Structure 1
Amino acid sequence: MMLEYSAYIILLIQIVLIHESTASLFSDECLRHGLKSYYDPTTDSCWIVETTPFTYDQAKSHCNHMPGYDGHLAFPKTLNHSWILYTKLGAPDSWIGLQHFGSSTTVSNKSEWYWTYPDGRKEIAADALWKGSYPTTGECAMSSGNNVNSLYSTACTAIPAKFICQYDSSTAHHETTLEHKCKQQNQWFWWNDDKSCLLLDTLMRYPLYAQLMCTHIPGYRGHLVFIKTIEKMNALNAFRNAAVSPYYFWTGLNRDKNMTSGKAGLFWRRFDGYKEGFNLNAFLPGQTSHLDTPGADNMFSWTDYFEDWYDAGWAWTLCEYEETLRYAPTLLDIQCASLSLPHLYYQGSCYVRQESSVTYDVAKKFCTHIDGFNGRLAVLHNSELVRLMYFTLTLPTGGADSTHVGLERLNTTGAADTGYYWILGNGQTLPVTDFTPFYPGHPNGKICTILSNYYLTTYECTYQRPFICEYVEPTKGTHFRINANTANMKAIPQFILKVYDDLTLQESCGYQCTKEPDCRSIVYNEKTRNCLLQSVDSNMLYVKSANIVSAPGYTWYDRY
Structure 2
Amino acid sequence: MAAIEQLITSYNDSIPYVWTGLEVINSSVSPATNTNWGYFYRKGIFDSPTYLPWAPGNPSASSTYNRTLYKKADNGLYSGSSTTANSYVCEYEEALKQTITDLEQKCANLTSSSILTLFVNDVCYVLNPVNKNYKDAKVSCNALSGYNGHLAHIRTMGELWVAEALRAAADVPYARIGIEKTNTSITDVYTGWYLTTPTDQPILATFLPWATYGNEADQYSMGIKGDYPKSFETIMSSGARPFICQYASVTTTTTTTTTTTTAGA
Scaled by the length of structure 2, the TM-score of the pair is: 0.72
Select 1:209's aligned residue among 136, 139, 143. Answer: 136
| Aligned-partner residue type, residue 317 of structure 1 | F
Verify the 8 A CA contact 1:230 1:283 in the aligned structure 2. no
Instruction: Determine which structure has the larger helix proportion and give its number.
Output: 1
Larger RCO: 1 or 2 (CA < 8 Å, sep 6+):
2
Shift of 1:224: 0.9
Aligned residue identity for 2:116? W
Matches of 1:114 and 1:299, distance apart in 2:
28
Q: Cα–Cα, structure 1 residues 184 and 89, in superposed 2: closer, same or farther, change >3 Å? A: farther
Find the counterpart in structure 1 of residue 91 from structure 2.
166
Cα distance between partner residues in 1 of 2:16 and 2:33: 26
**What is the deviation of 1:288?**
5.9
Shift of 1:275: 0.9
| Distance of aligned partners of 1:242 and 1:285 in 2 relative to their CA distance in 1, 3 Å threshold | closer
Query: Match of 1:319?
Result: 245
**1:230-309 map, 5 Å:** 230-243=157-170, 246-257=172-183, 258-279=185-206, 283-284=208-209, 287=212, 289-293=214-218, 296-303=219-226, 304-309=231-236
Residue 96 (str. 1) matches residue 20 (str. 2)? yes
| Paired letter, 1:170 | A
- Offset of residue 237 of structure 1: 3.5
Q: Offset of 1:221 from its aligned partner? A: 0.3
Q: How many residues align?
A: 238
Aligned to 1:181: 106
Q: Give the 5 Å matches for 1:20-39.
A: none
Written as runs of structure 1 = structure 2, the 5 A alignment for 1:353-502 is: 485-486=252-253, 488=255
Verify the 8 A CA contact 2:220 2:234 in the aligned structure 1.
no
283 and 221 in structure 1: CA distance in 2 versus 1, 3 angstrom threshold: same
- Deviation digits for residues 297-336 of structure 1, max 9, x if unmatched? 22233332221323x33222321111212xxxxxxxxxxx
Deviations 1:376-429 (A, max 9, x none): xxxxxxxxxxxxxxxxxxxxxxxxxxxxxxxxxxxxxxxxxxxxxxxxxxxxxx
**Shift in Å at residue 197 of structure 1?**
1.2
1:453-473 per-residue CA deviation (whole Å, 9 max, x = no partner) reads xxxxxxxxxxxxxxxxxxxxx
Q: TM-score, normalised to structure 1's length? A: 0.37
For 1:80 and 1:236, how far apart are their aligned partners in 2?
Answer: 31
What is the alpha-carbon distance in structure 2 between the residues aligned to residue 240 and residue 155 of structure 1?
Answer: 18
SS of residue matched to 1:264:
coil
One-letter identity of the residue aligned with 2:220: D
Q: Distance in 2 between matches of 1:144 and 1:314?
A: 40
Distance between the aligned counterparts of 2:177 and 2:24, measured in 1?
32
2:10, 2:179 → 1: CA distance? 48
Q: Which runs of 5+ in 2 are unaligned?
A: 61-66, 260-265
State, as a whole percentage, how many aligned pairs show the same letter: 16
Residues 1:190 and 2:115 are matched in the alignment: no
Instruction: Please say if residues 95 and 161 of structure 1, whose CA atoms lie closer than 8 Å, have aligned partners that are also in contact.
Output: yes
Cα displacement (A) at 1:284: 2.1
For residue 99 of structure 1, report the CA deviation from its aligned partner. 5.4
